[in-house]
Chains A and B, each alone.
Chain A
Amino acid sequence: MASVTADTPVIPTRSAAARFGVPTTLAVALVLLLLLPALGLPPFFESFLYLLCLWISLATSWTIISGFTGYFSFGHGAFYGVGMYTTANLGASLPILVCLVIAAALAALLSLGMGAVIFRVRRLRGELFALLTLAMTIVVATIVLNTPIDGGPGKYLLGVQLPRIYDNSATTIYLLGACVAIGTLAITYFIQYGRLGRGLFAIADDEDVAEGLGVPSYRYKLIAFAISSAIAGVIGAVHAIFVSYVTVSETFSSTVALFVILMSVIGGMRHWLGPAIGAVFVTTINFVFVSGDSALAARIVIGLALILATLFLPEGVAGFVQKQVHKRRAAASSNTDTAPHALVPAAPVAAAPTATERPILLKGENISLAFRGVQALDGVNFDIRQGEILGLIGPNGSGKSTLINVMNGFYKPDTGRLLFEGHDLAQMPAHRIARLGLARTFQIPRPFPHLSVLDNVMVAAMFGGAAYPQETARRKALETLDFVGLANRAGAFPSELNLHQRKFLELARALVSDARLVMLDEVLAGLTPSEITSAIAMVRRIHGGERTIVFVEHNMRAVMELTDRLIILNQGKLIAEGDPRTVMDDPAVIRAYLGTSDAEG
């Protein structure tokens, strides 16, 4: 591979200031908030600050599941309610900190149970999640109402023991709120820039592709949901003490769900600070309106704000700012832009050992798959040998892409086994197959649209076969982008790339984690003749004499130039296999491509 270009321009590496600055700022903010009561603030000011902390915690925690993964929860109120009723029932007999832990655990358990059910359904998953979380709120409310947890009349919080830090238990509530709010921001910040966050953002953009690159999407969604709910439970447990009287109708009303969505939509859901911005804005508006005794007007304003923000500011304040920053960066870098893609010289081809001498890397046995009666694959047997470039060809609809989808785990075959180093891939989820070192590209590129080119490749580097830690992944991603000629586009978004570049981005994602088997699905389709020449050279360099490649292609020039061996599918059946020149002379193959023997004339 090309040498490391650590100081390639235009790459938005996060500076040391950003990396250490945020945690430091949060720590300082916490200390200031905790010292504030020493000044002897008026009580209403303290309770306003407390409300800010409450909504920052709720909105930010909601964003961990709903903003980062795109799964909208209408049930945040349920987790918050679980927290409230935890203190309402246990607050008198247990120390408050124990109550908070129990509240977090109960809320997390509830979310894990819900998530385990909902996240299994593949179709309609976003909508279903929204509705079932909404439904869950009603169920939880009903259960609380009908059991001694509440029983109907509501619960007074009498005898909750609070430590008096500033000689005033109201201040203690505020201090608890401040700790939870800052803690939530810190957790969300670390999630966003950590491994979990990268996986979640990838899931939000294209869950199937994320899974195919190795992101364990089911587990990650559950983890995010549990963290999000646990925080809601904790702040609910604190808030119960603040209100000192909890009722089912107040606790489980639509207010919480509505407000957290509104705050996040306004502030921006793909940034840890977005919901906090929205929370400050909405809480202030609400405080002003309600203290002016026009709660109804506040509801109308909030409803309108929700609609207008969705229509005109779809990425929120934080998203808008990020976009402006990106634009400015892109404008500044355009001066230093070099030619988009230097032609890669074709590497001399080493005399390869003959195909049959190589050991088998992957063995497909009797693979069949039918879609509603269409037999897409019909008892296909094949071998992929270590280090070869295997051409997979056939007319349109012959099952080539289906076979790729089976090998990478997107489809489960009806019958058959796929043996790869003692593992049967046929029954394995896609992310585990990626982990084993199989990578693929898509015929129509499917980059994550909201992630930069560099981040797109980093997801593959961190979750694919090599599973690099973040900093190594960044370096590897830059190397790979350099290799495919996209180094100077690392900071761009996929929408700013042309088709040729997006195909090379696909390649970079497939290559970055040193996959042992790379499946290239029609990488040449749609390219101009000169782009095809450079792409063929690229494939040869990717192969490097040793990497195993499955090459699906219609362009016969490329197939004959590149492949060591061919397998040919027609109507789901394997009709020929072997040396390219021999296979192409096979009458069955000619029939499949050109028609019956009369046509040969």
Chain B
Amino acid sequence: MSATLFGQSVLSGIFAGSLYALMGLGMSLSWRYLRVINIAHFGLVFLAAYMTYEFAGVRGYSALAVALLLIPLFFVLGVIQQVLILRFNVNEFSSLIVTYGLAIIAEAVIQLIWSADFVRYENRALHGNVEVGTLLLPVADILLVVIAVGLCVATWAAMRFTWLGKALRAGLDNPAIAAAFGVPNQRLLLLVSGFSAALASVAGVFVALLYTLAPSQILSWLGVVFAAVLLGGLGNPLGLLAAGMLIGVSEAITMAITAPSWAPVVPFTILILLLVLWPQRV
């Protein structure tokens, strides 16, 4: 393999890894802090992607404006989902099934509105490439890496250093005692669920910018993102970022060496190796 091909593979791995981290961040937070294994997260990501395609692509509004509108909208959707989950007292395991059901419905609804065919959103402003030596860096991908790294680091810092993050962790350890010290557990949980869903919308915008969309692909992201979330550690944004990159880069190199269709094996091989060699990590 030539140095250029290798470099380009590593780069595209970093780009893919950033998207895994961006998709996984909301999922990781809700798993750790809400005890909700949210498969519907992927439904939200694709809903946002299709809405970006519809409003920015078909109807020609500014992509930035669409993204800025989607974020609060999805925040509200996330809060509603969590209100229902709390209302019905859904436990961790049932949440997996219930949100699976939601994802199935989301897939069917998307297919109903936008058909099962592939659609593609072309954004001219982000179309170009930056050339660094012999390497090509697409502008949209650079933006993705910046946003993904920025959000992961910001989330980590917020959890670590702010009152909010400390209250959340206290509430997770012992809700009753945290409440006795004045932590508003319920509201914090809604905040996390809203934030997670808002992250889904951001990820969705990038899915629309970078990929061809089809409803059947919704759950195809599930495996690799879950692998990154588990590998990174639940509720650990920096770990997630590193895990996403690790998976992305090893996938890209596998693709360059063998064939692209082998890529799905990589994250699970890593995950299974991790379990065998280091079982206490998970």
Which of A's residues lie within 8 Å of B, judged by CB?
Answer: 72, 117-118, 120-124, 126-128, 130-132, 134-136, 138-139, 141-143, 145-146, 254, 258, 261, 265, 296, 299-300, 302-307, 310-311, 314
Contacts and interface: CB of A to CB of B under 8 A. Distances in A.
B103 to A, nearest CB: 8
B226 A117 contact: no
Contacts of A120: 275, 279
Given A138-B223, A142-B265, A306-B97, 20 more contacts: A72-B97, A123-B280, A130-B96, A132-B272, A135-B268, A139-B268, A145-B261, A296-B112, A299-B105, A300-B104, A303-B104, A303-B105, A303-B108, A306-B101, A307-B102, A310-B90, A310-B94, A310-B101, A311-B94, A311-B98
A142 B262 contact: yes
B37 interface: yes
Nearest to A121: B279
Give the top 3 A-B pairs by smallest Cβ distance, nearest first: A303-B104, A306-B101, A303-B105
12 contacts: A117-B275, A132-B272, A138-B223, A139-B264, A139-B268, A142-B264, A261-B100, A300-B104, A300-B108, A304-B105, A311-B88, A311-B94
B5 interface: no
Contact of A136 (B88, B108, B268, B282): B268
Contacts of B264: 138-139, 141-142
B104 A299 contact: yes
A172 B39 CA distance: 40
Contacts of A306: 97-98, 100-101, 104
B141 interface: no
B92 interface: yes
| Main SS class of interface, A | helix
Contact of B275 (A121, A145, A303): A121
B105 A296 contact: no
B257 interface: no
* Most B Cβ at <10 Å: residue of A118, A141, A311: A311
A141 B263 CA distance: 12
B3 interface: no
Contacts of A305: 101
B98 A310 contact: yes
B93 A128 contact: no
A141 B268 CA distance: 13
Contacts of A117: 272, 275-276
A131 B261 contact: no
B112 to A, nearest CB: 6
A197 B259 CA distance: 45
A337 B221 CA distance: 58
Contacts of A304: 101, 105
Contact of A307 (B92, B98, B268): B98
Contacts of A310: 90, 94, 97-98, 101
Contacts of A302: 104
A26 to B, nearest CB: 30
A304 B88 CA distance: 15
A141 B259 CA distance: 15
Contact of A254 (B93, B94, B219, B226): B219
A300 B223 contact: no
A309 to B, nearest CB: 9
Contact of B282 (A128, A258, A303): A128
Given A300-B105, A310-B101, A146 B259 contact: yes
A71 to B, nearest CB: 10
Interface string B79-112: 0000000001010111011101111110111011
Contacts of A311: 88, 90, 94, 98
B262 A135 contact: no
B230 interface: yes
Interface string B244-282: 000000000000000101111101110110011001101
A299 B275 contact: no
A312 B223 CA distance: 29
B50 to A, nearest CB: 16
B261 A314 contact: no
Contacts of A135: 223, 226-227, 267-268, 271
Contacts of B94: 310-311, 314
Contacts of A314: 94
Contacts of B219: 254
B261 A142 contact: yes
A145 B94 CA distance: 33
B104 A146 contact: no
A132 B271 contact: yes
B101 A118 contact: no
Contacts of A134: 222-223, 226
A131 B230 contact: yes
A150 to B, nearest CB: 11
A131 B226 contact: yes
